[in-house]
Structures are given as structure tokens and as C-alpha cells.
Amino acid sequence: MPNERLRAAMVEQGLTHHALAEELGVNVKSVERWVGGEIVPFPRNRHRLAIRLGRDESYLWPDTLTRDRAAALAESELVRIYPHRADVTADDWRQLFESGNAEIGILVYAGLFLAEDSGLQRILRKKAKGGARIRILLGDPDDAHVVERGEEEGIGQALAAKIRNAQVLYRGLLDAPGIDFRLHRTVLYNSIYRADDRLFVNTHIYGLPAAQAPVWHLRKIPGGELARHYLDSFDRVWDDATPMTES
């Protein structure tokens, strides 16, 4: 769709495509494509154009600036990327969960490495006693999605066995006030670990075990969408999951 605001501003200034291209030091074809709405100028040229035409950038390219702002916010939400979950140290995990005072959440299939960490269980007990809401979601070991994921990772029935091991290891927390467990039957695209407004998101890659896939360390900020998407996803899985009882 042609950029009529840009075209009208050029007409008001008596600028032809060739004249504007010469002033900015760009190819006339670029100017024609800007006006035709085929492409958007790079930020530097947008700024120079706005000054030359006496218009705000937000007037000439409202949609683009909205996207730019969203991209900038998303970049601000990204604290760090770990190439593999195995690169996240035990201290990193404990610092994450220690930082949660209101809400702590774990969404995994098995997450056996956490269930085996007695120090983490002490943290969860302490946080629950302090008033934090603790929600832990494990995959239903009898669900077909768990079987499929085990096959994808080349470990067959071992994933279901890991979930059952995690259930046994968490038995001491099942009756702890403020700590709730549920079993989910969803296709898990990401494992999500949440402490208030901080998250570790372990992406899943077809054919790779979760420990070899990357982890995004995110923080939720006002106006940002990236962290909120994962927090909302956690809540949707929780709402559809069933309470876990001692087996």
C-alpha cells in the first residue's frame, strides 16, 4: 500500500523522487519504493526524512515505529542466552528461585535434575512458608505426548520413568501448604521456570534432549510482550492440568 503521508509531504515541499534521492544520497529507486510502500527506510534515513519534510516519524511510519518499539522492548527483556540448559549452573538455578517472593512456577515433562536437588526443595519450602505461591507441573507419564517426546529424544520409555522418579522425589512436598502439583497432557514446546517476573525458558529442539537445548533468561518489564507470552502459556497449561496425588 502506497505511503500517502510520505507522498503528500514531499509534494508540499516540492520534492521529486530524484531531488530527494540526491539530498539523501540514496538511489532514486529506494525513494520510489519508500513512497510506494514496498519498503521502509532504515532508521537513519527515516530520521533525516522526517526532519527534511517537517513531520514526525510516528506520523510518516506509524506501524514501523510500533514494531521498532516492540523489538526494543523484547531486547530489553532478554537478560542472557545459555547455549545449553546444561550451561546453567546450580547457583544460577538457586538464585532464580531464591528471587521469587510471590510466585514460583515450574513447567516441565520431568525436570528430574531439579527434583533431585534437595537444596531446591528447601528453597521451595521456605518460599511457601513466606507466602509465595508455588506451582509445579509435570507431564503425565501415561500421556501419549510423553511417549512421543521420549521417542524423539531417542530415550524411549525413559522419559516416563524420569517423570515417575520426579513424582517420588517430590513426595515430601505434596502436602506442604502453598505448594501445588499438577500433571499436564500438553505438547511441551518449552519448559518454563518462573520466579516472580524472572524466567528461564528452555526451548525444545526436535531430536535433542532438553539439557542440550538453549535457555533464555527473561525478565518481565512494563510494556513488554515476550515474557508475558510464556507466563500466559504457563497459566493455560496449569488451568488444563489435573492435581497430582501420591501414587
Statement: residue 111 has pLDDT above 80: yes
Q: Would you say residue 68 lies in a domain?
A: no
Averaged pLDDT for residues 198-226 = 88
pTM of the predicted model as reported, rounded to 2 decimal places: 0.71
Q: Give 155's pLDDT tier (boundaries 50, 70, 90).
A: confident
Q: Would you say residue 70 lies in a domain?
A: no
Q: Would you say residue 66 lies in a domain?
A: no
Q: Would you say residue 32 lies in a domain?
A: yes
pLDDT at residue 60, as a whole number: 83
Statement: residue 70 has pLDDT above 60: no
Q: Would you say residue 116 lies in a domain?
A: yes
In this structure, are 55 and 177 located in the same domain? no
Of 60, 88, 108, which marks where a domain is finished? 60
In this structure, are 87 and 49 located in the same domain? no
Residue 138: Cβ-neighbour burial (10 angstroms; 0-12, 13-18, 19+): buried
Statement: residue 65 has pLDDT above 70: no
Of 35, 60, 85, which marks where a domain is finished? 60
Q: Which domain holds residue 103?
A: 77-243
Residues 6+ apart with CB under 8 A from 55: 5, 9
In this structure, are 131 and 9 located in the same domain? no
In this structure, are 35 and 156 located in the same domain? no
Q: Would you say residue 71 lies in a domain?
A: no
Q: What is the pLDDT of residues 24-49, one digit of tens each?
A: 899 999 999 999 988 888 888 888 88
In this structure, are 84 and 190 located in the same domain? yes
In this structure, are 126 and 165 located in the same domain? yes
In this structure, are 90 and 119 located in the same domain? yes
Q: How many domains does the chain have?
A: 2
Statement: residue 72 has pLDDT above 70: no
pLDDT at residue 94, as a whole number: 93
In this structure, are 39 and 90 located in the same domain? no
CATH number at residue 16: 1.10.260.40
Q: Would you say residue 236 lies in a domain?
A: yes
Statement: residue 213 has pLDDT above 70: yes
Q: Would you say residue 199 lies in a domain?
A: yes
In this structure, are 174 and 108 located in the same domain? yes
In this structure, are 39 and 94 located in the same domain? no
CATH number at residue 85: 3.30.870.10
pLDDT, greater one: 70 or 147: 147
In this structure, are 82 and 175 located in the same domain? yes
Statement: residue 75 has pLDDT above 70: no
- The lowest-confidence range among 23-32, 142-151, 221-230 is 221-230
Q: What value does the mean pLDDT of the chain take?
A: 89
Statement: residue 74 has pLDDT above 70: no
In this structure, are 140 and 88 located in the same domain? yes
